Chain A
Amino acid sequence: MPYKKLRIEIANRVGYVLLDSGARFNKLSITTIRELKRAFTQLDADDSIGAVVLSGYPGESFAVGADIGQMVNFSSPEALHFAELGQSLFDRIESCSKPVIGALNGITMGGGCDLAMSCDFRIARDTLQIAHPGARLGIITGFCGTRKLPRIVGKNFAREIFMSSDAYGAEEALRMGLVDRVCPSEEFWPKVVATAEQIAQHPLSALSATKRLINAAEDTDLRTGCLLEREAATYLNSPFR
C-alpha cells in the first residue's frame, strides 16, 4: 500500500522516513501516525539497512502535533484512544532493532517533539523551533512526553518548557540537551547522511544490543542492567558463536 503522508528512501544501508504531508506543517494526524508505524515495521524487517533517519527534510517542519480542529471536540475516551495510538508508534520506534536518528529540519511542536524524543538521538538544523505548547491549549501531552522530556533535559527545564509553552531555538535546545548536535543549514543534511552511514556500517547485532541495553538502563537498577549487559556481551563478543 502506498504512503500518503511520507516517503521512504533507502541508500547506502540507511533507510530514510521522510514526513511529507504536502502542507507546510507535518501534522501527526491519525493517518500519519498509522503510516509511520507501518514505515518503521517495514524498515525494521529490511535486512539491507542498518540505521534509520526520521525527518521532514527538505520541508519547513519536522512535525507538529495533532490537528487541533480534529481534537477540539474529542471526548475523554476519544482522547484516551488517540494517546494510545501515539504511544504505540513511539513504542514501535523504540523497539525498532535499528538505531533511529531524529533529523530535526525545522519546526517541531507538541506531538512532533514527542516523536523526536522517541528517536535514539537528535541532530538539529540551526533553524529549529521546538516547543511543547500543551499548556497554551489547555492540555498536557498524551504521547509520553511528560516522562521522556524530564529524563532528557532534567525536570527543571522540562517544567519550564511545559509551563511556558514557548518555542526554543537550536542553541537553547542544545544547551538543555534536548538536541545532541546543531548544524548550520547548508551542512545539516550532509551531516545527517554521514552520521547515519557511519552508524549503518557497524554490525547490526551490536547496534541492536546497544540500543536495547541503553533503553533498559533507564528502567532497571544498576545490578540488573549489568546482568543484562553481561548476557549480551557474552553472546556478542564470543568469536565462535
Chain B
Amino acid sequence: MPDKLCTIHVKTDGIAVLLVAGSTGTTAGELLLSLQSRLATLANDDQIKGVLLTGTPRGFCWCQPAQNSTIHEAARLSSLGQQVMFALEKLGKPCITVIEQSCTDLGFELALASDFIVAAHEASFGFPAIASGLIPFCGGSQRLSRLVGKAKTKELMFTGDTIDGEEAYRIGLVNRLYPTGEALPRAEELLLHICTRSPSAIRIGGEVVNAGYDIDLATACLLERDAFALCFSRFDQREGMQAFLDKRPPQFTGE
C-alpha cells in the first residue's frame, strides 16, 4: 500500500524530488521501510537522472524516537537503518539533500548519507535525542566524524545542541548556503548541471570515492587505476573527449 511518509515527484527534466516528511505518529522503522522501497524505485527507474532529497514545510524525517525497544528490536532497527543509508550511498545517481528546516536525529543521518547537503540559513542540524539517552543508529556518528572531524562531532553529540545553517556551512557540513526559499531552486539548478556530465563517470567515481576512503592509499590507487581503465571501454569516454576536441557539448548516454 502506498504510504505518505515519503513520496517521489518526477519532473520532466529527469530530476526526482524525494520528499521525506514522515509524521509524528510513525515509528523510525516504518519510515525506514518506506524509504527503502522509495530508494529501490529511484535506483531502478532509468528516466530518473538525479535526486533531490528534502522535506516539506511541516518537517523532514519526522518520526517517534526509537525508545522503549528491546535489545533485539534496537539491533534490528539499527541494522535496517544502516542498510537504507548504504542503499542511498549506492544509488548510482547524484543525490543532493536540501535542508530549509530542522534536520535532526534520523533526518540528520539520512542527509549525511547523500552526496552532499545544500541548506538555507534557518536550517538546523544536530542529534538532540541524546537527552533521552539515544545515539545515532544508521551510521551517523561515523559519517559525521569523517566529514567534520572527531572534535566537532563529539561536541554536537555530547551537547545535543543544534547548529544553524551558517555554522554548518562554516564547519564544512553544508556545501552551499542560501537565503530562505532559494536553497531548493538553486540545488535543482546545480543538480541539472551535474546531470549534463557523464552518468557513467559519476557512478564509477562515486563508488571509487566511497571504497577508497576507508582503505590504504596504495590499495585505493590500484582500485582507481582499474576503474579509470574501465572508463576507456565505454561510450561516454569517447563522446566526452571527442566533444571536448570538437568544442561542442557532449551527448552522454551513461553507457
Centre residue among B202, B217, B238 by max chain A CB count within 10 A: B217
Q: At the interface with chain B, which of A98-106, A150-158, A204-212, A233-241?
A: A150-158
Residues from chain B with a CB closer than 8 A to the CB of A165 are 197
Known A77-B229, A138-B234; further 7 A-B contacts with Cβ < 8 A: A136-B240, A136-B244, A146-B208, A150-B213, A155-B147, A163-B202, A176-B172
User: A136 to B229, Cβ gap below 8 A?
Assistant: no
Q: Interface size class for chain B?
A: 35 or more
User: B225 to A80, Cβ gap below 8 A?
Assistant: yes
Complex CA distance for A204 and B221, rounded to whole angstroms = 29
Centre residue among A142, A154, A156, A166 by max chain B CB count within 10 A: A156
B188 on interface, CB distance cutoff 8 Å:
no
Q: Would you list which residues of chain A between 145 and 173 have a CB under 8 Å from chain B?
A: 145-151, 154-160, 162-166
Q: Spell out B's residues near A (CB within 8 Å).
A: 94, 115-117, 146-148, 172, 175, 190, 193-194, 197-198, 200-202, 204-206, 208-210, 212-213, 216-217, 220-221, 224-242, 244-245, 250, 252
**Which B residue's beta carbon lies closest to that of A165?**
B197
**Which A residue's beta carbon lies closest to that of B191?**
A163
Q: Interface size class for chain A?
A: 35 or more
Number of A-B contacts (CB under 8 A): 160
Complex CA distance for A135 and B201, rounded to whole angstroms = 5
CB distance from B163 to the nearest CB of A (A): 16
Centre residue among A68, A79, A218 by max chain B CB count within 10 A: A79
Asked, given contacts A156-B116, A163-B94, whether A135 binds B197 with beta carbons under 8 Å apart, the answer is yes
Residues from chain A with a CB closer than 8 A to the CB of B115 are 156, 159-160, 163
User: B240 to A138, Cβ gap below 8 A?
Assistant: yes
A127 on interface, CB distance cutoff 8 Å:
no
Complex CA distance for A74 and B250, rounded to whole angstroms = 18
